[in-house]
Amino acid sequence: MRNSIVPPYLLTALADAGQDKVAIAARAARRSLLNDEPFRAARFESVPARVTRQAAVTSAPSGPDRRISTADGREELPGRTVRVEGEGFTGDFAVDEAYDGLGATYDLFADAYGRSSIDDRGMPLLATVHYGQEYDNAFWDGSQMVFGDGDGEVFNRFTSSLSVIGHELSHGVTQHSSNLTYQGQSGSLNESVSDVFGALVEQHHRKQSVAEASWLIGEGLFTSAVTGVALRSMSAPGTAYDDDVLGKDPQPAHMDDFIETEEDNGGVHLNSGIPNRAFYIFATALGGYGWGPAGQVWYDTISGDSLPVDADFSRFSAETVSAAVNRFGESAREVTALRSAWQQVGIGEES
């Protein structure tokens, strides 16, 4: 498996750009698409099953176990180990950003939800930086994180955005909990869950309230040559960029604008804007910190036993309401705010 932060439609737009505009980035995008294609095709060959949850090895999180390697510009994993848990800064920005980002992600899940690493069993956190030449992506491959350095023309290095690191590692949390099928609406939920927790990793690390947070995924990834602020906006899907080369951010924010497509595994990076917007509305209605009651409901939903791997938006919304009722009570303000949030994006509870 390979869950990548940059969607194929964005790389395609870049690859098709005129050579006189972004020659280096266009070449890098074509290479990145070729690199990722076998992994996109492989997703159709198997259907995931619900993960059988096991008891944690320890009763409480004991701290991260990080190991950062470098591929030294090759496409070989895991590469050469350059920093392990407890060692100091190396002076290599990508290495040190990956180390810190893995730690910040571990801290969110441990501090807010009592989870012991990605698998809730103390799994070591592995990452490889400097992957490939001008590689325009970052991905979770089922066992570790991998980061490209970007092309320097459109994309900066992919370790520079904490929400990207949190997003990709959260794919690992989903893999070891609900294991949502990466296709269609369940795939959009898989992407959305990673956006939610990617944003919360950043907010938790910065101690930002929901009002202070940017709600951007991939802020800082674009160079100054791009007219845009991030890959995605959770507060206003469809507004993250509007660029001559990349085009306009195509994410919908409401079910009225749901995109039917066979590309991008059925639009997983597109339609994820709808549940993203629902979470943003829910969290801001509650106020305070997003990783509190709002994040707890999402965590309860993906780590519980009743969410099917092929859940659609309606089923997921119903499961979140059920999780909120179980935690806060039927008449709680959290439940009222959550129902309203789903209704505002055109999704009702499953009857």
- Inter-helix orientation angle 93-113/293-303, to 10°: 90
Nearest to 106 by CA among 3, 215, 204, 6: 204
Locate 36 and state its tokens: 């990722």
* Rounded Cα distance, 340 and 26, in Å: 43
Query: Token match 């990617």: residue?
Result: 198
Contact 219, 229 (CB under 8 A): yes
Question: Helix, strand or coil for residue 307?
Answer: coil
Cβ-in-10-Å burial (0-12, 13-18, 19+) of 330 comes to exposed
The sheet carrying 66-70 orders its strands as 3-4, 138-140, 145-147, 125-129, 66-70, 80-84
Cβ-in-10-Å burial (0-12, 13-18, 19+) of 145 comes to buried
Which one-letter amino acid corresponds to residue 226?
V
Query: Token match 């995008």: residue?
Result: 29
- Inter-helix orientation angle 273-286/333-344, to 10°: 150
Determine whether 219 is an active site residue.
no
The DSSP annotation for 256-281 comes to GGPPP-SSHHHHTTTTTHHHHHHHHH
Q: Which of 168, 191, 219, 334 is catalytic?
A: 168
Question: Helix, strand or coil for residue 259?
Answer: coil
Q: Which of 134, 171, 269, 334 is catalytic?
A: 269
* Rounded Cα distance, 292 and 287, in Å: 9
CB atoms within 10 A of CB 221: 26
Determine whether 262 is an active site residue.
no
E runs forming strands in the chain: 3-4, 66-70, 80-84, 125-129, 138-140, 145-147, 216-217, 232-233, 242-243, 247-248
Instruction: Give the residue numbers marked as catalytic.
Output: 168, 269
